[in-house]
Copies of this chain bind each other. A is one copy, B any other.
Amino acid sequence: MSQTVDRALSILPLLAEGPADLGQVADRLGVHKSTALRLLRTLHEHGMVYRQSDQRYRLGARLIALAQEAMENLDIREIAHPHLVRLNEQCGHTVHLAVYEEDEVLYIDKVESRYPVRMYSRIGKPVAITVAAVAKLLLADLPEHERRALADKLDYPLYTARSTPNAPAFLRELEKVREQGWATDLGGHEESINCVAAPIRGADGRVVAAMSVSAPNVVVTADELLSLLPLVRRTADDISGEYSGRTSAKGTV
């Protein structure tokens, strides 16, 4: 691996925390100022970082544009979207689509109940991996050794009293999710929010994505939300079928 590139890329998450000046970047990288300057200049030429008026650096617009393109290239997203919209029309709640990649789970699509306009605001954000229903489904499908290794590596923040507290509890939960083929998050992330989720599978049966319906319990109780499970699972299965080529888009009404 390349030391120079490694250093340059290390600057990006550093700047994601907030703007930083040259000296701060150099310190955090453990290199000379002039070295940091050259790296930042190169990043700047590619638009990955932006230099604001006070001369401090922050992440650049090009990064955002690239990420947009990256998401549009995910074909699961394209296939799933109309199904998510239809589900949203039927139940009225927020619908999420998420994928797993290298120790992270990301929301890649969202249909917000109250607003017809597609919102990108939260898309791309890593989800609370230890409690989110979609995360459980995606991790439950990993080979056992990977699952175990990942569970040990994770932090288990106690968002609420119902958050998954530690690795053993998480592994037990994943086992349960694996067997039943669906998952919930009942107030594990935010006290008043419940989710119910179902997996989307590829032709080989492996889970390629997961979708969920979320609603605050001031709108519907957990039981009422759970009654949507058959509908959620059917939607997920429809997407699975289309993604793996078993059915066409037109076939599902």
Q: Is the CB of A63 within 8 A of B63?
A: yes
Q: Output the least CB separation between A23 and chain B (Å).
A: 14
Q: Is the CB of B50 within 8 A of A59?
A: no
Nearest B residue to A35, CB-CB: B2
| A5 interface hit (Cβ, 8 Å) | yes
Contact A106:B69 (CB < 8 A) given known A9-B48, A38-B2, A42-B6: no
Q: Is the CB of B245 within 8 A of A117?
A: yes
| A123 interface hit (Cβ, 8 Å) | yes
Query: What residues of chain B lie closer than 8 Å to A74, measured between beta carbons?
Result: 50, 58-59, 61
CA distance A99 to B13 in the complex (A): 19
| A149 interface hit (Cβ, 8 Å) | no
Q: Is the CB of A125 within 8 A of B65?
A: yes
Chain A residues touching B, range: 35 or more
| A150 interface hit (Cβ, 8 Å) | no
Give the oligomeric copy count.
2
Q: Is the CB of B65 within 8 A of A59?
A: no
CA distance A6 to B39 in the complex (A): 9
CA distance A8 to B176 in the complex (A): 43
* Per-residue B-contact encoding for A1-20, CB less than 8 Å = 1, 0 else: 11011101110110111110
Q: Is the CB of B124 within 8 A of A68?
A: yes
Q: Is the CB of B73 within 8 A of A67?
A: no
3 shortest interchain CB distances as A-B pairs: A67-B67, A59-B70, A68-B124
Q: Which of B10, B13, B59, B61 contacts A106 (CB 8 A)?
A: B61
